[in-house]
Structure 1
Amino acid sequence: MSVLSAELPPSRTDGQPWDSDGEPDLYAVILRDGSEVYRTPVVQNSTHPEWRAAEITLRVRPDSVLRFELWDEDGMVDQPVGAEEVTGVPSSALDGGNWVVRFQRNAFLRLAARPPEARYGMGVTFEVHEDYLRVLAAEPGAPGAAAGLREGDRIVALDGRRVQDLGEIQSHQAMDRASVRPVVLTVERDGSSPSTITVSPGAVYSAR
């Protein structure tokens, strides 16, 4: 999702200028389900600001509540310009396209949505130890997490070969093979007996 531009009327509701020196210093804020996930840079002195690199990759479910806010940076206390909530991403923008969030008094925010770029692999961050790989993170929805890997797991073997025999380089190569074929992992968790997990090839989408 990219924040492209905004447009405001030339003055406030009471007819007064946005700032003491005329035009507002605008920025936009995006919240998802009540938590802030992105804030654009401030564009100085403009009722028609444009942002050229205001992009964020978000996980947005159909029931996610997105709140869009426009603010005028104004010294000690920033002033709200407008706020609007929408549920999910409009169907017209799901496969890529522009959409508009409209506020009161003909103010609006223009956004662009596009499908996320995929990479292939397990979607797992790990560190190498002498005889195991410790899982530091498993990207939600990625093949590793879908197969059941989670933070803290110890991978002690890959496709039947022990990590202590593979070494660091071959362990990395064995993990990377999940991008093209299934990989069978032997995993220890919380002191329990080892179990096997098969990670199948799939796409990884890195997003907040």
Structure 2
Amino acid sequence: MVTPRPGASTRASRQTKTATTRRAIVEAARSLLAESADGHVSLEAVAVAAGVSRVTIYNQVGSRHGLLDAVLTDSAERGGMDQLLAHTKDEPARQACTSVIRRTCCFWAAERSVLRRLTGLAVVDPELARIFDTREGWRRRQLNRLLERLEEAGELTRTGAISRAAILDGFVALTSFQAYDRLGQLAEHPLKATRVLDQMLTGLIG
């Protein structure tokens, strides 16, 4: 007897179920991370919170670090950080910088509790630190593209002895999560924080 191949509707149903399961796992991990004191969340705890088995988590994300990476990916997609420059193409170069700073500040503010735990954990977890480094490398390249646009528009004056590389380093640093998290009460108001950081960028680029 030949077993019939699953139809398109069956495959779609399986894909939907898989996506729903993954969403439940990521949401459970996010909630537990936000509530944890030090960022240490076990796969067992996530499995219980998500209503799945530990094996299911391994099938979905592969490992604990895979789970943390999935949480970071989900956070980035929620905040539009995976498309950081997408909405700036038609803006003047300097305005595009402001838009990116605003999006970044809003993202840091919304994800602050989770990112605070994960960045703290990355200090003692080399693999998680590597995941963050990869993501920061991507963000650095996006900011470099903004500086290229400023150069093309003649708006990157490089006042004093500040090199192009130093300007990029400064831009990356002042828009980092670590810098944002140290803003204290100002970090609770991302639009106000945007104005402060935007003024700092003006001082940096001349």
TM bracket, shorter-chain basis: under 0.3
Which protein has the bigger helix share?
A: 2
Normalised by the size of structure 2, how large is the TM-score? 0.27
* Bigger relative CO (Cα 8 Å, ≥ 6 apart): 2
Q: Indicate the structure (1 or 2) with the bigger Cα radius of gyration.
A: 1
Normalised by the size of structure 1, how large is the TM-score? 0.27
